[in-house]
Amino acid sequence: MHRSAPRLSRILACAAVPVMLVVAGCSSDSGDDKKGSDSSASSPSGKKTEPTVEPAKYDTLPADTCKSIARKTTESLVPKAKVKSGTAGKSNNTETRSSCAWNGLDDNGVKGSQYRWLDVGFLRFDSDQALGSGAKRATDEYTKQVAKAQAAEGAKKVSAAPADGIGEQATSVTYDLSKTGEDFEYATVVARTANVVVTLTYNGAGYAGAKTPSAADILKGAQKAAKEAVAAVGAEAPAAEKPSATPSDEASAKTSDKASGKTSSKTSSKAPTKSSTKTSTKS
């Protein structure tokens, strides 16, 4: 009896070992599955995702660059323009780069003549994953254009100052320049609106004894034209982007119809008149 007790203990101990190993094995497998599940959920493709750049605000430029400045303005700044409608510059892609210029000589005979030149250029930048957002790229170009204006060859009395109220940021650069034997007054306005850079230059000179235009007048004219050019960017938005009527607007319309003795159903059932059709076509 004393000999059988130790032997029985050894048998039971050996029988328990496989059970413990099995339990340990199951526990290990369960942990591996969980780890693998977490790993695949955090990165299904196994690749790191790159941050996206901000989309560009404008995807096109004014359809007709020469109309970006009002005809009334161009005629006042260049009274005797050779081409009153302006001369468009050549471009391989007018959706990213375009320009227009006006120039003319107002000949007053023995009283002398006044020469004026006006030109405007647009540059648009798309957002690019490698290069950055359109707004950032436009900001970089804006800085370059301001520096370029300040470094005009032969320029004297160069001065640069912020131009308030023109786009998101704008700088006016003024300077004197002598050419063709006359003294010219120059003003260049560089402005940025979102992802578009507008550069406008206006200059003038007096010929045959006529006085040189004042720097203040040239600057004033340049800023006025630049403001109009910047406003033209994005002005031709599709009708779908225009705000639609709100519920309160519709309620007001129904109230107005009832007050006039008409129901909204009768109004909607009528066919559009010729005049309303023409109006909607034009818009």
pLDDT tens by residue, 83-139: 999 999 999 999 999 999 999 999 988 889 999 999 999 999 999 999 999 999 999
Selected residue with higher pLDDT from 213 and 242: 213
pLDDT (0 to 100) of residue 234: 86
- Across residues 27-46, what is the average pLDDT? 47
Position 108 scores a pLDDT of 87
Residues 6+ apart with CB under 8 A from 216: none
List helix spans (H) across 90-150. Answer: 134-150
Q: Report residue 33's pLDDT band, with 50, 70 and 90 as the boundaries.
A: very low
- pLDDT > 50? residue 278: no
Per-residue pLDDT, 51: 76
Domain count, the chain: 1
Question: Is the model's pLDDT at 241 over the cut of 80?
Answer: no
The model's pTM is: 0.68
Domain-located, residue 40: no
In this structure, is residue 179 part of a structural domain?
Answer: yes
89: in domain: yes
> What CATH number is given to the structural domain containing 86?
3.40.1000
Q: What is the mean pLDDT of the chain?
A: 79
Lowest-confidence region among 67-81, 95-109, 161-175, 263-277 = 263-277
**Domain membership flag for residue 78:** yes
The two tokens of residue 174 are 């003024």
Instruction: Kindly state whether residue 15 falls inside one of the protein's structural domains.
Output: no
Question: What SS3 state is found at 2?
Answer: coil
In a domain, 185, yes or no: yes
* Tens-place pLDDT, residues 19-29: 444 434 444 45
Across 233-262, average pLDDT: 51
- Encoding tokens for residue 147? 């520096």
Label residue 88 left, alpha or beta by phi (over 0 means left) and psi (-120 to 50 means alpha): beta
Residue 1 in this model has a pLDDT that exceeds 60: no
Q: Are strands 196-207 and 113-124 parallel, antiparallel or unpaired?
A: antiparallel
Instruction: Report how far residue 236's alpha carbon sits from residue 193's, in angstroms, rounded to the nearest whole number.
Output: 15
Measure the CA dihedral 61/63/69/75, to 10°. 150
Query: Residue 48: what pLDDT?
Result: 64
Domain span at residue 85 reads 65-232
**Close Cβ partners of 165 (under 8 Å, ≥ 6 residues apart):** 227
How many whole angstroms separate alpha carbon 58 and alpha carbon 194? 8
In a domain? residue 206: yes
Q: What is the CA radius of gyration of the chain?
A: 37
Strand order in the sheet with 97-107: 87-88, 97-107, 113-124, 196-207, 182-193, 169-179, 156-162
What confidence tier does 266 reach under pLDDT thresholds 50, 70, 90?
Answer: very low
User: What is the pLDDT at residue 31?
Assistant: 46
Q: Does residue 31 belong to any structural domain of this protein? A: no
